[in-house]
């Protein structure tokens, strides 16, 4: 198994991860966001699988399958259902307009690139070279969380954040034990389910899933 094949595959998976997150910010349609998220999940699974195959670690491959099932299919499906149920079409008025968010993305990428310097100098190699992508994902997730108003977008942001953390974890430690990953995945699933219930409740209460309405609860 040649290293250049490995390089290419890691590079491609990392590229798809980045591209899907850019698309997430670019498109205001929630359906497109959920689709991009699904693709991102698949890319993450592919990344894990590539590392697993390269290192000949069956446990990593099993984790890859788990990630694929959970992030590639289950979570997007859950999200999509709740999107359909509350009939949400698009993110109407994000706090930061699309153009500015996109420019913010490029700055965040740069930041990610700068802060990941220690990883790159410690262990040069294709896996650590893709670490900035994971950190970018974390930052993008935060950006989405802080600037989008719709509850579904919030979930999307949260999942991007989680994908980012997972990416960094797999790239730097060469994988986490199956049990830990299983636990983490279940946590995420649980959070998403709870948030989904909350979203439905917000919609039922206010007739919209705009989180700014929650401010009214303060009184």
Partner 1 sequence: MTPIQAGLLTQLALAALAVVAAVLTPPRLRARVAGAAVVGLGVAGAVTGAWALGGGQGALRIPVSLPFDPVVLSPDRLGGLFMLVAGLVGAVSASYGISYVRGPAASRTSWSAMAVFLLALQLVPAAADAVSFLLCWELMAVSSTVLLLAEHAHRAAVRSAALWYAVMTHLSFVLLLVGFAVLADAGGGTGFAALSTVPAGSAAASLAFALLVLGFASKAGIVPLHVWLPRAHPEAPSHVSAVMSAAMVKMGVYGAVLVTIRLLPGGPAWWGLLLLAFGAVSAVYGILQASVATDLKRMLAYSTSENVGLMFLALGTGLLLRAQGSAGPADAAIAACLLLVVSHAAFKTTLFLGAGSVLHATGERDLDRLGGLGARMPTTSVAFGIGALGAAALPVTSGFVAEWALLQSLIHGANAQDRLVAVVMPVSVAVVALTAGLALLAFVKAYGIAFLARPRSEGAAAAHESAPGMRVALVLAAASVVVLGLAPGPTYTAVAAAAGLPGPQPVGWWGIDLSAVGALLDPVALTVLAVLLVVPVLVVSVRLARRQPRREVDLPWGCGGVRLSPRMQYTATSYAEPLARVFDDALRPERDVLVTHSAESRYLVERVQFQQHVGDIVEETAYRPGIRFVDRLGLLARRLQNGSIHRYLGYSFVALLAVLVVVSL
Partner 2 sequence: MNAGALVLVVVQVAVMVVLSPLLVGVMRQVRARMEGRAGAGVLQPWRDLRKLLGKETLQADGTSWVMAAGPVVLLGSSALVCALVPLVGTTTFPLVPDDLFVVVSVLLLGTVALALVGLDAGSAFGGMGSSRHMTIAALVEPTVLVSVYALSIPVGSSALSAIVEARIADPASIASPVSLLALVALSVAVLAETGRMPVDNPSTHLELTMIHEAMVLESSGRDLAWLELGSWLRLGALLGLVGSLLVPWGIAGDVTVPALAVGVLALALKLGVIGAGLAAGEVFLAKLRLFRVPELLAGSFVLAFLAVTASYLVVQG
> Is residue 29 a contact point for partner 2 (CB under 8 A)?
no
Closest CA to 54 of 15, 14, 11, 5: 5
CA angle 148, 162, 18 (to 5 degrees): 75
Which CB atom, from 13 or from 48, has the smaller least distance to partner 2?
13
> Is residue 117 a contact point for partner 1 (CB under 8 A)?
yes
> Is residue 139 a contact point for partner 2 (CB under 8 A)?
no
Nearest-approach distance from CB 24 to partner 2, in angstroms? 11
> Is residue 100 a contact point for partner 1 (CB under 8 A)?
yes
Could you write out the three-class secondary structure of 67-123?
HHHHHHHHHHHHHHHHHHHCCCCECCCCCCCHHHHHHHHHHHHHHHHHHCHHHHHHC
> Is residue 110 a contact point for partner 1 (CB under 8 A)?
yes
What the block records as the tokens of 205 is 């209460």
CA 41 to chain centre: 7
> Is residue 95 a contact point for partner 1 (CB under 8 A)?
no
Query: Interface with partner 2 by CB under 8 A: which residues?
Result: 4, 7-8, 11-12, 14-16, 18-19, 22, 26, 98-99, 102-103, 105-106, 109-110, 113, 120, 124-126, 128-130, 132
Query: Interface with partner 1 by CB under 8 A: which residues?
Result: 99-100, 110, 113-114, 117, 120
């Amino acid at each position: 198994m040649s290293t250049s094949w490995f390089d290419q595959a890691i590079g491609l998976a990392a590229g798809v991860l980045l591209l899907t997150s850019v698309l997430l910010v670019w498109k205001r349609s929630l359906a497109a966001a959920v689709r991009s998220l699904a693709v991102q999940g698949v890319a993450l699974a592919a990344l894990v699988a590539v590392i697993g195959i390269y290192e000949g670690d069956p446990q990593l491959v099993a984790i890859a399958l788990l990630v694929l099932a959970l992030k590639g299919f289950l979570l997007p499906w859950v999200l999509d259902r709740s999107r359909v149920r509350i009939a949400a079409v698009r993110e109407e008025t994000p706090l930061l307009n699309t153009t500015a968010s996109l420019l913010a993305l490029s700055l965040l990428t740069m930041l990610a690139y700068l802060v990941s310097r220690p990883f790159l100098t410690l262990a040069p190699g294709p896996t650590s070279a893709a670490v900035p992508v994971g950190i970018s994902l974390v930052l993008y997730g935060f950006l989405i969380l802080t600037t989008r108003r719709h509850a579904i977008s919030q979930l999307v942001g949260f999942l991007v954040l989680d994908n980012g953390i997972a990416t960094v974890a797999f790239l730097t430690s060469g994988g986490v034990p199956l049990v830990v990953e299983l636990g983490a995945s279940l946590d995420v699933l649980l959070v998403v389910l709870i948030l989904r219930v909350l979203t439905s409740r917000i919609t039922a209460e206010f007739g919209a899933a705009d989180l700014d309405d929650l401010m009214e609860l303060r009184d």
